[in-house]
A = this chain, B = another copy of it.
Amino acid sequence: MKQVLASFQGELGAFSQVAVKQLLGDAGRAVACERFEQAFRALEEGRVQAAVIPVENTLHGSVHENYDHLLRFHLPITGETSVRILHNLIAPQGVSWAKIRRVYSHPVALNQCLDFFAAHPHLERIPFYDTAGSVKMIVEQKLTDAAAIASSVAAEIYGARILKRSIEDDRQNFTRFVLLQRPGTKPLLAQTGDRKTSLVFTTRNVPGALFRSLSAFALRDLSLAKIESRPLRGKPWEYLFYVDVLEDIAAPRMKKALGHLEELADFLKVLGCYPRGK
């Protein structure tokens, strides 16, 4: 089987690595980058064949930085997947639950396990830069009173032990990732089933401009799965709008909608058309 290198942000064992596996199967080899921008750049410069980037979490909201990168880099979206976020309490081998006094993890993960901390008030929460990175650290430093909150993959990779599974407050915790490739390369995923088109546009700063832009879709019965606004640099209090439309870009009504939107929008860019994730 031919390997596919895919850049992602975080340490090995991050939820992004789970997304790499869901998207690319056993062929996918996750390449860790410290920052999101580096994951985009690795793909732009051809050091990897794909990038796997989180865009949205159902509790925490959009990963806004990545919307900015999607605009700036010219790396089309060719697929998507959602990962169920399961937080586990993980300790180095030989460290039992009774000994744990401190728990390390990314602040977002700590905040998603508030019921667990309320039930165990003797545990100190310590913010760390990364979920999987906190497992790596407690194992490397051989801490005897510390645990980390991370994915089960992180426990596996760093040879640590899961003390308690699924300690997150809310089971409806999913993160949506997009698969990016370089322009003109063959899609890595099978192009079958229903499709989605992602766009970004600006409107003229006139009353009703967003409403009129959305009419391009609504009047053609095209559904939006998501809309996100971001500030437009250099034009205070004006915005870019990102939308995901549940239709193939090649479908006649979608072509007409894009033509209509072009009449109304100052700027329009297609970010990708790809098979809808489950």
The reply to whether A228 and B229 form a contact with Cβ atoms under 8 Å apart is yes
Whether B221 pairs with A208 at a CB distance below 8 angstroms is yes
Copies in the complex: 2
Task: Specify which of B61, B172, B223, B224 is in contact with A235 (CB 8 Å cutoff).
Answer: B172
Q: How far is it, in angstroms, between the C-alpha of A125 and the C-alpha of B231 when the chains are bound?
A: 25
Per-residue contact bits, chain A 55-96, to B (CB 8 Å; 1 contact, 0 not)? 011111110100000000000000000000000000000000
CA distance A230 to B57 in the complex (A): 10
Q: Is the CB of B207 within 8 A of A222?
A: yes
Q: Is the CB of B229 within 8 A of A207?
A: no
Chain B residues positioned under 8 Å from A215 (CB to CB) = 211
Where the two chains meet, the residues of A that have a C-beta atom closer than 8 Å to any C-beta of B are 56-62, 64, 170, 172, 174, 207-208, 210-212, 214-215, 217-218, 221-231, 233-237, 239
Give the top 10 A-B pairs by smallest Cβ distance, nearest first.
A211-B218, A207-B223, A58-B236, A208-B218, A211-B214, A61-B231, A172-B236, A58-B231, A61-B64, A174-B236
